[in-house]
Amino acid sequence: MSSEPIFRVALRGQTIITIPRWNKGTAFTMEERKAFGLTGRLPYRVNTLDEQCDRAYDQLEARPEPLRKNTFLQSLKDQNWVLYYALISRHLEELTPIIYTPTEAEAISNYSHLFRRSEGLYLTFPQQDVMEQDFLEQTRGRDIDLIVCSDAEQILGIGDQGVGIATAKAAIYTLLAGVNPSKTLSVTLDVGTDNEELLNDQLYVGWPHKRVRGEEYDQFIDKFVQLVRKHHPHCLLHFEDFGVNNAKRLLDIYRDKHAVFNDDVQGTGAVTLATVMAAAGVTESTLADQRIVIYGAGTAGLGIARQLRDGMVTLDNISISDANKRFYMLDRFGLIKESLGPGKIRQGLQEFVRPDDEWEGAETNDKGEIGLLEVVRRVKPTVLIGCSTQAGAFTEEVVKEMEKGTERPIILPLSNPSKLHECTPQNANDWTNGKALLATGSPFPPCKMPNGKEYIVAECNNALIYPGLGFGAIASKSRSLTDTMIIAGTRRLAELAPALKDPDDALLPDFGNSPAVNLEVAVAVAQQAIEEGTAGVDWKKEEVREKVKEMQWKPIYGQYVYDEDGER
């Protein structure tokens, strides 16, 4: 007996083949073609999904540039979801960088020029009087597990792009964790843009207006969040690439009221904690033993500092104030120290401000600012993390200085996309004679070590963990995604680090294994949710894995039966 799922579908003819959720193209069977009025709409031959993947892959490979591959895959997604996800799953390591980081950054910065078909929900500031109607138009009667939203103010490291990103992040949830794409909604919150190039572009598809800020902005966002809470009280609400003055602030406003998650704060914090835990395993030290310099104290920098700090408190049993002392944060005014004053010390950073007297006699510039090299010289960090968007900021001098103070420098240039990395892994490897323990935000090829061997550079990108964190919360019907659930998922990821078995191996599992890794994370998160009473299911601990697996959506077609009262 076949285990193929059976769907009762109420659509036929032209409609069913133009809806990507239902379309099978040449894979509709002869019986289905008869039942759904498709015999004359399709050429004779029935293909298998494998054959369709082969054909699509050949078409894709005929396009040499990554951006053209991205456009091709976007059209495929507009045509046929199963084929899109099946194709990418079969070539995961090759194609994830095409639909996601780094190529997605290029696609987003060209969004208005590449635009073909709208995707998801666009909520625009001047049309907010019809926000609820627009929202219901796409969600009425639907069971929604996940809403990914962005106001596109700080897209990766490429800044204000007006519109874009939420759809790519949602696709990764499906690809790597098995979130059902028909139960997700991507939302663009268009509150304008301060990007002059876009404002002056006749083809810009977003609202050509300066960004709305302050109270009006907050009210707009609140109106949206209240709609989510009213109509889909159990869905996970994922915030992506908001600006530095909004990301953490909005998370704090809503996290007690709904299951919300900020990927740049929490997802990045989690994947970086797992990386540092693995590196500490290699150097046979604890988290609390580290001296950590974070270059770029924005959304990601602060998220990482807080998550690493909480990791030290939970796992190494030290006090919060002791843990805070392990951090040295730098931003555009150099080291964050007391005398910078509140104007230059952003909300949330106060816990990590260094006392001035500790820096007496330090080398400064003419404004009294202390730069990265001087901080590295004095602190002798064991960990150096970059999330500054400043390409090349980890110079040879900085890296060599770090190497003088520690045996295995842990260096994580995390800015995306690839061209914005603070240093290339190969440079960091060369400058430390192969001693650096490395992970990067975007994918990089392995480094050549001085001994001729290759060192695999782990990809410390939140995509290795956020789909699992989110799916764990969704599957267990959790009311919130708590810090303890995030720590549980992070510990599971850290346990899977190849470097713990072989210190010369990568600090994180390979991206090719990311579906299996995200499943492990989801199971750990769901188990924790059940244990702490956040979950809305009452599974026994030992049945969680099977239950989570059963809930995963898979890119397979299933069999369709025509039914007037069926799904549409």
Ligand X SMILES: NC(=O)c1ccc[n+]([C@@H]2O[C@H](COP(=O)([O-])OP(=O)(O)OC[C@H]3O[C@@H](n4cnc5c(N)ncnc54)[C@H](O)[C@@H]3O)[C@@H](O)[C@H]2O)c1
Burial code (b: 16+ CB inside 10 Å, e: under 16) for 500-531 equals: eeeeebbbbbbbebbbebbbbbbbbbbbbbbe
Roughly what angle, to the nearest 10 degrees, separates helices 268-282 and 466-475?
A: 120
Tell me, residue by residue from 154 to 193, as one string, x for binding to ligand LMR by CB under 6 A and - for no binding.
--x-------------------------------------
107 binds ligand X (CB under 6 A): no
The one among 427, 461, 476, 534 contacting ligand LMR by CB under 6 A: 461
160 binds Mn ion (CB under 5 A): no
Distance in Å, CB of 460 to ligand X, minimum: 6
- Which of left, alpha, beta for 384 (phi over 0: left; psi -120 to 50: alpha)? beta
Roughly what angle, to the nearest 10 degrees, separates helices 81-90 and 66-79?
A: 140
Could you give the CA distance from residue 418 to residue 504 in angstroms, rounded to a whole number? 23
104 binds Mn ion (CB under 5 A): no
- CB under 5 to 8 A by kind: which of ligand LMR, Mn ion, ligand X, none does 482 bind? none
459 binds ligand LMR (CB under 6 A): no
Q: Which C-beta is closer to ligand LMR: that of 409 or that of 441? A: 441
Q: Is 396 annotated as a binding residue?
A: no
- Beta strands (DSSP E) in 449-493 are 454-455, 458-459
462 binds ligand LMR (CB under 6 A): yes
Q: Is 416 annotated as a binding residue?
A: yes
Distance in Å, CB of 567 to ligand X, minimum: 36
Distance in Å, CB of 240 to Mn ion, minimum: 5
Q: Which C-beta is closer to ligand LMR: that of 294 or that of 315? A: 294
Q: Which C-beta is closer to ligand X: that of 83 or that of 168? A: 168
Per CB under 6 A, contacts with ligand X among 371-410 are 387-390
Q: What are phi and psi of 297, to 5 degrees?
A: -100, 50
In the bound complex, which residue of the shown chain has the CB atom lying closest to ligand X? 298
Stretch near Mn ion under the rule CB under 5 A, chosen from 180-188, 236-244, 282-290, 397-405: 236-244
SS3 at position 454: strand
422 binds ligand LMR (CB under 6 A): no
- CB under 5 to 8 A by kind: which of Mn ion, ligand LMR, ligand X, none does 389 bind? ligand X
Per CB under 6 A, contacts with ligand X among 207-266 are 244, 264
Cis peptide bond upstream of 413, omega within 30: no
- CB under 5 to 8 A by kind: which of ligand LMR, Mn ion, ligand X, none does 32 bind? none
Both tokens of 265, joined, read 């704060």
The answer to whether 70 touches 103, Cβ cutoff 8 Å, is yes
264 binds Mn ion (CB under 5 A): yes
388 binds ligand LMR (CB under 6 A): no
Could you give the CA distance from residue 62 to residue 56 in angstroms, rounded to a whole number? 10
Q: Which C-beta is closer to ligand LMR: that of 241 or that of 520? A: 241
Q: Which C-beta is closer to Mn ion: that of 82 or that of 439? A: 439
The one among 52, 180, 299, 528 contacting ligand X by CB under 6 A: 299
Q: Which C-beta is closer to ligand X: that of 81 or that of 295? A: 295
DSSP string, 309-336: HHHHHHHH---HHHHHTTEEEEETTEE-
Per CB under 6 A, contacts with ligand LMR among 141-160 are 156
The answer to whether 469 touches 489, Cβ cutoff 8 Å, is yes
Could you give the CA distance from residue 267 to residue 274 in angstroms, rounded to a whole number? 11
154 binds ligand X (CB under 6 A): yes
Closest CA to 103 of 386, 510, 393, 443: 443
SS3 at position 491: helix
Distance in Å, CB of 544 to ligand LMR, minimum: 27
Could you give the CA distance from residue 367 to residue 359 in angstroms, rounded to a whole number? 15
- CB under 5 to 8 A by kind: which of ligand X, Mn ion, ligand LMR, none does 187 bind? none
Cis peptide bond upstream of 417, omega within 30: yes
Q: Is 80 annotated as a binding residue?
A: no
Three-class SS of 410-430: EEEECCCCHHHCCCCHHHHHH
Count of residues that interact with ligand LMR, criterion CB under 6 A: 9
The one among 181, 298, 381, 413 contacting ligand X by CB under 6 A: 298
Residue whose structure tokens are 């700090």: 309
Alpha helices in 186-267 (DSSP H): 196-199, 214-231, 247-254
- HSE-up (13 A, CA, CB side) for residue 566: 15
514 binds ligand X (CB under 6 A): no
156 binds ligand X (CB under 6 A): yes
The answer to whether 110 touches 135, Cβ cutoff 8 Å, is no
Q: Beta strand pairing status for 334-335 and 327-331? A: antiparallel
56 binds ligand LMR (CB under 6 A): no
Per CB under 6 A, contacts with ligand LMR among 294-353 are none
The answer to whether 460 touches 497, Cβ cutoff 8 Å, is no
DSSP string, 493-528: HHHT-GGGT-TTS-SS--GGGHHHHHHHHHHHHHHH
Distance in Å, CB of 102 to ligand X, minimum: 10
Stretch near ligand X under the rule CB under 6 A, chosen from 55-63, 152-160, 221-229, 335-343: 152-160
Burial bucket for residue 319 (CB in 10 Å: 0-12, 13-18, 19+): exposed
Give Cα separations from 347 to 321, 332, 519, 542 (angstroms): 18, 15, 35, 42
Tell me, residue by residue from 207 to 246, as one string, x for binding to ligand LMR by CB under 6 A and - for no binding.
----------------------------------x-----
Count of residues that interact with ligand X, criterion CB under 6 A: 29
Residues serving a catalytic function are 100, 169
Q: Is 532 annotated as a binding residue?
A: no
520 binds ligand LMR (CB under 6 A): no
Q: Is 240 annotated as a binding residue?
A: yes
Could you give the CA distance from residue 414 to residue 84 in angstroms, rounded to a whole number? 28
Residues near ligand X (CB under 6 A): 154, 156-157, 244, 264, 268, 271, 295-301, 330-332, 387-390, 414-416, 420, 441, 460-462
Binding residues for a divalent metal cation: 240-241, 264
Residue list for the binding site for (S)-malate: 416, 461
Chain contacts with Mn ion (rule: CB under 5 A): 241, 264
Give contact residues for ligand LMR (rule: CB under 6 A).
101, 156, 241, 263-264, 416, 441, 461-462
